[in-house]
């Protein structure tokens, strides 16, 4: 019967960890991360869940003769924001998987 007490304790710990993970995921989704390009002339804001929320383009960078440059700036700002969001996600959620060696985490 002793093994059952240990199992119940472990299940309670798992439930606590699941609750903390869900809370961390929710808080992560509320974070706003900004990526910029062109000296701040293009800004992309993403959530901690890596969703693009906003794109701001300074009108000075809009040149109908050079659309490719604008596209490159938007792409660079988006990739920067997504990279920062990924790093934040890894830091936030990594605390729950430290030492577990789980694939995909």
Looking at residue 92, its pLDDT comes to: 85
Tokens 């701040």 belong to: 40
Phi, psi for residue 34 in degrees, rounded to 5? -110, 130
pLDDT per residue over 30-83, tens digit each? 999 999 999 999 999 999 999 999 999 999 999 999 999 999 999 999 999 999
> What residue ranges define each of the domains in the chain, with the CATH number in brackets?
29-99 (3.30.1310.10)
Higher pLDDT, 100 or 105: 100
Phi, psi for residue 38 in degrees, rounded to 5? 65, 40
On the question of pLDDT at 102 being above 70, the answer is no
Looking at residue 81, its pLDDT comes to: 96
On the question of pLDDT at 6 being above 80, the answer is yes
Average pLDDT of the residues in 19-27:
89
């Amino acid at each position: 019967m002793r093994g059952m007490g240990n199992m119940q304790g472990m299940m309670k710990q798992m439930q606590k960890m699941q609750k903390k993970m869900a809370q961390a995921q929710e808080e992560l989704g509320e974070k706003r991360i900004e990526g910029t390009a062109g000296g701040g002339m293009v800004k992309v804001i993403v959530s901690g869940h890596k969703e693009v929320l906003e794109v701001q383009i300074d009108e000075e960078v809009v040149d109908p003769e050079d659309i490719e440059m604008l596209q490159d700036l938007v792409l660079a700002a988006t990739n920067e924001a997504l990279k920062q969001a990924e790093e934040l996600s890894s830091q936030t959620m990594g605390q729950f998987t430290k030492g577990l060696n789980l694939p995909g985490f």
